[in-house]
Amino acid sequence: MNTMNPLTILIASIFTHNIALVYILGMCPFIVISKNFKTAVGMGISVIFVVTLTAIINWPIYWKILLPANAEIISYLIFIIVIAATVQLLEMLIEKFFPPLQSSFGIFLPLITVNCIVLAVCLFMVLRKYNFVQTVFYSFGTSAGWALAIIIMAAIKEKLLLVGDIPKGLRGAGITMIIAGLLAFAFMGFAGMITLQ
């Protein structure tokens, strides 16, 4: 088992090992949904919720059921089914009990199933042998880091639209990539504070 302090993991997963800008995951929504600041905030919060929840569900499934049964070969399959089922369930719960939230978060939920970071958090948690508490902190930190990145990106792009005169071919995905590169440089400034393994 990994013996790192959960708080260290939390800080590391938000800043030094930001999943969007260092591991380059969750890029599809990062490019498509980062046009508008408000939408980015909604997406960020939904991702934090789903990632943390699925990691909490998948941890006992992997370590307490699949591993003792020698069935870790199908772990990908189980993880992805759990993720899809959790998202579906959340969608139904929100629709039923919190209708006002439906318009602000409900629309993002189906998109999250194919967001790489939900699966990535489950895979990293297995790879690095985190215990339960570490997993909770790690999954929360990672998704918060992703939310931070997409919110910064959306804010920059919104401002850029007002003042920027971007070459035609670079508009859209192209300029997003260049901004992401610069942001990744900025986040590299945190590197060296902590190393995860």
Partner 1 sequence: MPKKAFKKSFKHTKAYKALVAGLWQDHPTFCMVLGICSMLAITNRLDNAIAMGVGVTFCTVFSSLFVSIFRNVIPARVRMLAYMVIIATFVICVDRFLKAYFITISEAMGPYVGLIITNCILMGRAEAFAIKNGPLLSALDGLGCGIGYSFMLILMALIRETLGFGTILGQRIMPGVWTNWVVMTIAPGAFFLLGIYLWIFRTIAKKTD
The DSSP call for residue 129 is: T
| Residue corresponding to tokens 């902590």 | 194
CA 147 – CA 46 distance, rounded (Å) = 9
Query: 97-110 in b/e burial notation, b at 16+ Cβ within 10 A?
Result: eeeeeeebbbebbe
- The answer to the question of residue 96 lying near partner 1 (CB under 8 A) is no
- The answer to the question of residue 177 lying near partner 1 (CB under 8 A) is yes
CA 197 – CA 195 distance, rounded (Å) = 7
- The answer to the question of residue 89 lying near partner 1 (CB under 8 A) is no
Candidates 57, 61, 116, 194: give the one binding partner 1 (CB under 8 A): 116
Candidates 133, 161, 182, 193: give the one binding partner 1 (CB under 8 A): 182
Contact 179, 30 (CB under 8 A): no
Candidates 184, 190, 194, 196: give the one binding partner 1 (CB under 8 A): 184
- The answer to the question of residue 123 lying near partner 1 (CB under 8 A) is yes
Stretch that binds partner 1, among 22-30, 53-61, 97-105, 150-158 (CB under 8 A): 22-30
Is the CB of 65 or the CB of 74 nearer to partner 1? 74
